[in-house]
Structure formats: structure tokens, C-alpha cells
Amino acid sequence: MVGPHPDTRPDADIRWQFQRNCTSASAPAPASGASFQPAISPPGRGYPLGYPDTRQRFAEKGPSAPESAPAGGYPLAQAGIRQRITGIRQRITGIRDGYPSTISRYNAAVKKFIFFKNLSGDHDFVLPATSKDIEDFCFWAGRNLYLNNSYKISASSIRKYLCGIKAWHTFHDTLYPEIADKRIELLLKASAKVDATKPLKPKKPAIMLKHLIWLSNMLFPGGKADKAIMDLAIVAFWGMARIGELTYSKPTGSIESQLSLLTTGARIVNSAIGEKVILTVRNAKTATPGKPQEIVLHSLKNMLCPVLAIKRRLEEAAGQKTSLFGFFCGETRKHLTRSIAVNRIQLVLRSGGFDGLLGHSFRVGGASLRFALGTPVDEICVLGRWVSNCYKLYIREYDNSSLLESKKIIEELNELWDED
């Protein structure tokens, strides 16, 4: 999104872009005494076609206006913004609560589109988009034989971006240029043919036990933040979790309990093979509305035990209902965000010569190790919350040396734990 804006809510980019659109439709009020004549704004910038021109003012303060409203009433532009933002906020909240990752993907699509328009020289562009805007975007972003730049993406990614742009138009009661669909389909088919000639994108690497041990040895002597990140890494690996599911949207302040992993969302129970922890994850990427997912962690007899990691987090929280992966700095509760955790983890791994590992590598690593050790696929799918064969996308084959090394590490860790 172009330019800074102070709103830090997950749907801030859509809100801000909407306000830019509506602001462009406002103008000085007519002279006093002029009658209000609703007009239809022209297509293009400002309010979309079919909405009344908002450059008039209320003649008097309405009965539903708040006490703080001026005696002459709000400008219609401001009143329109208030009414429409309320409706948009309700729709966004519904999507965010049911599918919390959807709103971030929609924002990414709008950001990419605005970036394209700015790069094309149209610095004053505001949505809604025209058919030509969308066609030009597909030609700019899709691979073809005539134009090459560093911003090219696959045809499948463009389809996802277009869904986000359509969602923007839906949120704002604006018609998406449907006439563009047939032409765009041809552009995407041509782009997909060029995609087929390119080498496949490298698969995300897997975190292995040697990486996890390095992280633990380097982070444990650190401060409260490092200890929280260490426990996060252990839980993400054995729970085959996405880092984003275990972290928070902001580092301080109140967090949304219905979308966050709290200390109250961790249950420790006894099982036939020892203790286990059940984490209730409410912002899982693949969760369905009203049905939070559960991450099950079984105890291990070594320093990488995920149950002990959860116990350390609960002990640090001192019985308070707060973020599970966080820490107190004086009286202030600090929450781990995805960017803070991943950046710190990557920095520590690079110091040990382990480069190229990503936040998603923990989910990949946990699944790959279990598969290499002979864990049944059905059990991997249950623990990783997969309901189809998509689990195969996360499996990285262990060669003989890596498998032997991992087994040896497990034996040594268990022996050290028994000695203690």
C-alpha cells in the first residue's frame, strides 16, 4: 500500500484504501441555502458508479447523529464513509473470524496491484479498477515472451491475486469488470505455458534434529525472549505447526482471544505413554468456522520434549490468561510475533552455518522426521492435521547418512537425560 498509515489492524490496508477512495469524492460544500440534489458520480476515481455524489451537506443535524456531531450535521461524504465502513467492518470481521488468513491474502493482492500501478507511473491511482487496469496487471505480473521483469509470478498466483482484487470490489459494493474475465483467461493460459518451461521452485527445506539442538543450545542461555523462541521452535517442530499459528499479530497490548493461542488453550493430560499436551489453535490456516484445531504433543525423555516446553511457558505466565508464547518484561506482557521469532531463529541458525531455513521448515521437518522413522502415514496426517494427500508436499526424503545421524542424536539425547 502506498504511503504510511497508523492503523495496525489486520484489515488496515483495505480500510485505508477505502478511505482514500471516499476522500477523493469529497469537496467544498455548496453555498448556504443551496438545495441538496443527489447526483450520480462519474465512473473512475471516487465513489463507484451508481453511488450518489457526496459533495453536499446535511441541511440539519439528524436525530441519529452522536452528541459530538456539529450542529449543521456531518458532510455526506463523512456520513457515507461512516455508514459504509460499518458494513465493511462487519463483513471483514466475519471473514477474519472464520478464516483469519483470508484477510491477509486479500491485503497482499491489493498491495501487489497498487504497487504495479505506482511502478507504471500512475501514482494517484485508487481502486476500483477498470478492465484495462486488470489486463495490464496480468500482462505485467505473468510470464510471457515479450516482457520480462523481476516481479513475474506464476499464473496460479495471479489467479489468487485476482480473487483478492474481486473481494475488494465486493467489500465496497463495486462492480468488478466482468468483461475482463474472458480475455484474462486467455492471458493466464498463455502465461501458464511459459511457466511450464521454467524450473520448479525449490522445495522448502526441513528443520532437522541437529538444527533444533543448535537452536536450543544457543537460545537457552539467553534472556526471556530467547527462551520463549526456543520453546516455540520445539513445539512447532514436534507439533508440525505453522509458526503463524503459534504467534501473535502484535508484540504488546491486548490480543484477540478468539484468534490467539492463550495459556488457557493448553491442556496437560496423562496418556498411556506419559503426559501429553493438547493445544487449541483458533487461527489455524485450514480451520473451519467455529471448529478450532488441536495440536497434540507427546512427552519425550530428552531436552527437546515439547511437553516440558509448554510447562515452561505456563510457569512463566504465572497463572495469568495471556499469550502462551510470550514473556513478562516488568509488568508488560510481550507477545512473540512471527517476524520476530523467524528473524531470530534464522540469525541463530546462520551463526551455526545453517542457512536457507524458513519458518515453515519446522512443519516440514517434523513431518519428514516421523516419515523417516517409519511412523504410519495415518498418524502423521492426524498429528499434522492433514485430511488429504497434501501431506506429501511436506515430506523430504532422508538419505541413509541423515537417517543414521538423526537416530544417533535421539539415542544420545535420551542417554543424557537418563544420566541427569
pLDDT (tens digit per residue) in 43-76? 433 333 333 333 333 333 344 444 444 444 444 3
What 3-state DSSP class applies to 271?
Answer: strand
The highest-confidence range among 126-130, 147-151, 296-300, 415-419, by mean pLDDT, is 296-300
Terminal alpha carbon distance of the chain:
54
Q: What pLDDT is attached to residue 130?
A: 87
The highest-confidence range among 100-104, 357-361, 363-367, by mean pLDDT, is 363-367
Higher pLDDT, 25 or 381: 381
DSSP string covering 97-117, please?
HH-HHHHHHHHHHHHHHHHHH
Cα torsion 148, 151, 152, 155: sign? negative
The CA distances from residue 351 to 243, 313, 367, in Å, are 21, 26, 25
| CB atoms near residue 354 (< 10 Å) | 17
| CA–CA separation, 388 and 410 (whole Å) | 30
Whether the pLDDT of residue 137 is over 50: the answer is yes
pLDDT (tens digit per residue) in 332-350? 999 999 999 999 999 999 9
Q: Contact 227/237 with Cβ under 8 angstroms? A: no
User: How are beta strands 266-271 and 326-329 bridged, if at all?
Assistant: unpaired
Q: Contact 342/243 with Cβ under 8 angstroms? A: yes
pLDDT band at 358 (very low <50, low <70, confident <90, very high): confident
| CA–CA separation, 77 and 217 (whole Å) | 59
Sorted by sequence, the CB contacts under 8 Å of residue 144 that are 6+ apart come out as: 190, 191, 194
pLDDT (tens digit per residue) in 256-284? 888 889 999 999 998 888 899 999 988 77
| CA–CA separation, 42 and 39 (whole Å) | 9
- Angle, helices 400-419 vs 209-219, to 10°: value is 40
Q: What is the mean pLDDT of residues 244-257?
A: 89
pLDDT above 70 coverage of the chain, percent:
73
Higher pLDDT, 194 or 75: 194
Q: What is the DSSP letter of 202?
A: P
| CA–CA separation, 344 and 81 (whole Å) | 41
Determine which of 99-113, 150-164, 270-284 has the lowest per-residue pLDDT on average: 99-113
Domains (range + CATH), the chain: 12-195 (1.10.150.130), 209-419 (1.10.443.10)
The highest-confidence range among 133-142, 290-299, 312-321, by mean pLDDT, is 312-321
Q: What pLDDT is attached to residue 110?
A: 87
Q: What pLDDT is attached to residue 215?
A: 94
The highest-confidence range among 228-237, 291-300, 358-367, 375-384, by mean pLDDT, is 228-237
Counting Cβ atoms within 10 Å, is residue 73 exposed (0-12), middle (13-18) or buried (19+)?
A: middle
pLDDT (tens digit per residue) in 368-401? 999 999 989 999 988 888 888 888 888 898 989 9
Q: What is the mean pLDDT of residues 93-113?
A: 68
| CA–CA separation, 278 and 252 (whole Å) | 25
Q: Calculate ∠ Cα 140-145-151, nearest 5°.
A: 35
| CA–CA separation, 167 and 319 (whole Å) | 42
Q: What pLDDT is attached to residue 141?
A: 85
